[in-house]
Amino acid sequence: MESIGDLMGGFAVVLSWQNLLYMVIGIVLGVIIGVLPGLGGANGVAILLPLTFSMSPTSAIILLSCIYWGALFGGAITSILFNIPGEPWSVATTFDGHPMAQNGKAGEALTAAFTSSFVGALFAVIVITLAAPLVASFALQFGPAEKFSVFFLAFCSFVGMGKEPPTKTIAAMMLGFALAAVGTDTVTGQLRLTFGSTELLGGFDFLIAVIGLFGIGEILLTMEEGLSFKGKAAGINRKVVLQTWKELPRYWVTSLRSCLIGCWMGITPAGATPASFMSYGIAKRASKNGDKFGTGEIEGVIAPETAAHAAGTSALLPMLSLGVPGSPTAAVLLGGLLIWGLQPGPLLFVEQKEFVWGLIASMYLGNIVGLVVVLTMVPFFAAILRIPFAIVAPVILVICAIGAYTVHNNAFDVVMMLVFGVAGYLLKKCNYPLAPLVLAIVLGDKAEEAFRQSLLISQGSLGVFWSSGLVATIMSLGLIALFWPFLSTLYGKALTPALRK
Amino acid sequence: MIESRRFRAFVLAASATIVASLGVAPAGAWEPTRNVEFIVPAGTGGGADQMARMIQGIIAKHNLMKQTMVVVNKAGGAGGEGFLDIKGAKGNPNKLVITLSNLFTTPLATGIPFSWKDMTPVSMLALDEFVLWVNADSPYKTVQEYVAAIKAAPNGQFKMGGTGSKQEDQIITVALEKAIGKKMTYVPYKGGGEVAVQLVGKHIDSTVNNPIEAVAQWRAGKLRPLCVFDSKPLPYTDKVAGDMSWADIPTCKSQGLDIEYLMLRGVFMPAGVPKDAVDYYVDLFKKVRATPEWAQLMKDGAFNQSSMTGADYAKWVENEEKRHRDLMKEAGFLATN
Amino acid sequence: MSRSPDDPEMSGPRHRHVEMGVAAVILLLGAITIFGSLKVGIGWGAEGPKSGFFPFWIGLLIVAASAFNFVRAYLDSSRKLFAEWGQISQVLKIVWPMAIYVAAVPWLGIYVSSALLIIGFMRWLGRYGWPLTLGIGLGLQVVIYVTFEKWFLLSLPKGPLEDLLGL
């Protein structure tokens, strides 16, 4: 229990009025960053990094990591209110969060999202506190083959369960893979599918596709139905937070499962985005209300938000103990550590005890401060839906355009955003599922990269994916998840006659 | 606190603008007229990005420039996106770019149309070293032992991990293969830190990581440096891992592997900018290089502290481009279309 | 929204025609993917698959699935409407201004274009009075300028007006 003592020391470091002030500033800035699409957590942290050079490393990391928590919290807000995921990991939150807002339950959705985020983060911090060395050695076992198997599992647990016609699901998902393939092939360094266009060099960024498909597409759908946001009539009740809290403990199984998925995905490090999709997919299958997912189920908000935060938080562990960033934001924080003269790696925990445990203590406090800050703002956020559509729509369009521009500082991306918007409108009207498309854009190139790295190492043999216990187990889990609907029908059929007897 | 500094910068910027618009700009010294964009032709978190943000921080902390420096990542097309942006910004004196080897390798490997001749060389900041690393649990204590093991094994059995494809790490790998006379399997990863951890996890057999990418794992006793790809040993004698310092790593050449490779960390501007502007930035980076923060970064990353400006620098870059063309051609990395 | 789009009395594009169009466009994208993959090589080299290997098979799957979707839409005899013309024109009321906006950003800069978009939208569709319209249209630009350029040090596209002001 040495770590408990260290942690208490950490709290002593963090609990100065100055550090608490940095925490609040960080959270508020982070929420703003999370709300503005395109201005991601990585961007926000990178931009503010130089300003922290004159602070002590501990204060600086508190400020920056609180921006990170704030961005994680903030991503949920626009997803729920406007169907615009401000961050990649909040895409899965739109699936049920936005329908909830349309049904007049924006306050409940926001409260559930924030609270779940907090639970996920807290769980991950506890894991970090108690099991840091163990976790680091687990992460070391992940080579390319293991990484591919994790992406494979994320895919399998999410797809193959929609109500849409299978050929449309395939078309949408493969389109996502094709879009992900555009640009530089990281394995051979070759350009592909760019057809000589310099605009396509960087490929299609996931955020631009998402802002268009979800955000702009949603506005077009609303226009078609006349000028109103469905959730307009939402009553703003100050007690909504407490009422939702009473309901949440019922879903403790989903929460716990999502925490575990999130921690695992954060440590491996696959990241928060696959974690949120995977957790949503599994919750949908496991829940008895699974059929209603997508129409505004609170469980469909809890699952992805918990997993995303657990993953986002636990991703900091491989960064500290191995020097491998688990997310783009962690990559920037890593740069910061180097600049402050701290060398992330196995020795950081030994040599910079005060810093490490100060950081871990700030994770506890930062998330508590964050939860308080965002929860007090719930009625305010929900009230945004009362603003008339003719005012809110052009403002959203402008903010989306700026978001699309800031991803790569490229005006062409703004054009692409509009193209994706019209495509999103048409695809949704024609009953094509957008989620597999988006998942393929996010994970497509990473999965392909890991797959081909594995084959390089095995010199072309597919046996590499069943070469060790770890990778074979994950791959098998993936296959089971993929054929789950089929297997459960078989199981049900086998069981029915038995029950009749 | 942040706000007040920003506010001061704002007031300064505003007053500078007013002065400029009244046409009474002080004679003599040129100064940037708006925010200076510092383009990084690579993703966030990499070596070039870290250096650019460090410079941004140093300039802000020591108040070296009245305008603000803004770091912008343009990583698309192996950095081609960033270089094309500079090429297209002809005559814009408020734009800078920091380079990696992709200044030379990207146009050769992908056919994206740009060259250093489309830009104005400003200053060489430093050169980044490369070290041959193996896992500390491996039996290879010296380069000779490792080379002998590769020679004894069939082609492609030994795996070399590196950052990116057809870039510096793979160029060194090809040179290594040529010197040894055996093929290795080159596995490309996205970032240097990941490469180092893959070596710790024994998924690959060796790497040619930059010192800063692998130093943490070395200090923790997980990795072992075999040799450095420079003409002379590193000058840093502080103990880093156990009783070893950077200076204790032998050069590859002294160990019978005649390979030398250093990576440019330099700054360029768009073409057609006024000479005054170039001089301003040359002077700015001179001040940056004189700060204690910079010295610390050089030491942490065991950089080669060569620096050049003006004609010397342009000549150096020209030679380096020629060398890369030859290396890439020999390796068969040139774009076919 | 008392009338349903299934009502044959109303006029507008047929759902199956739009479905066919969408399937055809996706099929075309699939074909482009196959073409692009063939250009970079789709074989299986000594070091595993080449750059075009994955996109090639993905392109094939897209083409196959879209061909199926196209045929199914073609065979669908339902007279269901995609949307009424009135609804379509509502949607176009956003698409056209957005298209002009997107085209204007590189020339006018993002601030001027955004202000024009918001003011136009609020006046034309929302029929709000000038004070509110101008207040939001111009006020938001100031907020954006301060947030992005001053706090987060991100430079947004600028046009002649900003050059004139020296921003």
pLDDT, tens digit, for every residue of B171-210? 999 999 999 999 999 999 888 888 988 999 999 999 999 9
- C-alpha A22/C-alpha C29 separation (Å) is 49
ipTM attached to this prediction: 0.91
The yes-or-no verdict on residue A107 having pLDDT over 70 is yes
The per-residue pLDDT for A162 is 63
Beta-carbon contacts of A272 under 8 Å, excluding residues fewer than 6 positions away, are: A72, A88, A89, A262, A265, A266, A307, A308, A309, A311, A312, A315, A327
- C155 and C97: one domain? yes
Q: What is the rounded CA–CA span in Å between residue B222 and residue C148?
A: 43
Q: Which of C46, C75, C104 is the last residue of a domain?
A: C75
Does C80 map to a domain?
A: no
Domain match, C67 and C93 both: no
Q: Which domain holds residue C98?
A: 85-165
Give the residue from C20, C152, C158 with the most A CB atoms within 10 Å of its CB, the best one to mutate: C152
* Last residue of one domain, picked from the residues C30, C48, C75: C75
CA nearest B219 in A: which residue? A347
Query: In chain B, where are the structural domains located?
Result: 2-128+263-331, 131-255
* C96 falls within a domain: yes
Q: How many CB atoms lie within 10 A of CB C165?
A: 10
Q: Which amino acid is at C55?
A: P
Tokens of C43: 């074989």
The answer as to whether C104 is a domain residue is: yes
- Compare CB distances from A192 to C52, C110, C117 and report the shortest one's residue: C52
Which of A219, A277, A225 has its CA nearest to residue A98? Answer: A219
Q: Which two tokens stand for residue C132?
A: 């509110």
B-chain CB neighbours of A410 within 8 Å are 81
DSSP string of A378-437, one letter each residue: HHHHHHGGGS-HHHHHHHHHHHHHHHHHHHHT-HHHHHHHHHHHHHHHHHHHTT--HHHH
Q: Quick one: C62 and C123 in the same domain?
A: no
In A49-125, the DSSP E strands lie at none
| Averaged pLDDT, A474-497 | 77
HEC string of A358-389?
Answer: HHHHHHHHHHHHHHHHHHHCHHHHHHHHHCCH
Residue C147 lies in a domain: yes
Asked if A51 is an interface residue toward chain C (Cβ–Cβ < 8 A), one would say no
Geometric angle at alpha carbon B129, from B128 and B133, rounded to 5°: 135
Q: Quick check: C155 and B70 CB within 8 A?
A: yes
Instruction: Tell me if B35 and C167 make a contact (CB, 8 A cut-off).
Output: no
Predicted confidence (pLDDT) per residue in B37-56, tens digit: 999 998 776 788 888 888 98
Average pLDDT of chain A is: 84
Least confident of A226-230, A247-251, B133-137: A226-230
Q: Name the residue type at position A428.
A: K
The verdict on C49 and C103 lying in the same domain is no
Q: CA end-to-end span of chain A, whole Å?
A: 55
Residue B196: name the closest of A324, A450, A267, A349 by CA.
A324
Q: Kindly state whether residues C69 and C23 are assigned to the same domain.
A: yes
Task: Read off the pLDDT band of B15 (50, 70, 90).
Answer: very low
- In CATH, the number for domain B131-255 is 3.40.190.10
Q: Are strands B206-207 and B131-135 parallel, antiparallel or unpaired?
A: antiparallel
Hey, is the C-beta of A185 within 8 angstroms of any chain C C-beta? yes
Chain C, residues 77-116, CB within 8 A of chain A, namely 82-83, 87-88, 90-91, 93-95, 98-99, 101-103, 105-106, 110, 114
Read off the pLDDT band of A75 (50, 70, 90): confident
C40 close contact with A: CB closer than 8 A: yes
pLDDT recorded at residue A308: 92
pTM above 0.95?
Answer: no
Average pLDDT rounded to a whole number, residues B100-117: 91
Q: What is the total count of domains within chain C?
A: 2
pLDDT at B140 > cutoff 90: yes
Query: Same domain for C92 and C150?
Result: yes
Task: Tell me which of A210-214, A324-328, B235-239, C15-19 is least confident.
Answer: A324-328
Chains that touch B (3 or more CB pairs under 8 A): A, C
Higher-confidence residue of A233 and A90: namely A90
DSSP reduced 3-state for B309: strand
pLDDT at residue B269 in the model: 95
| Cβ pair A345:B185 closer than 8 A | no
Tell me the CATH architecture of domain B2-128+263-331.
3-Layer(aba) Sandwich (3.40)
On the CB side of A79, how many CA atoms lie within 13 Å of its CA? 32
- Judge: B35–C153 Cβ closer than 8 Å, yes or no: yes
When scoring C155, C164, C165 by the number of chain B Cβ atoms within 10 A, the one with the most, hence best to mutate, is: C155
- Boundary (domain end) residue, out of C56, C75, C94: C75
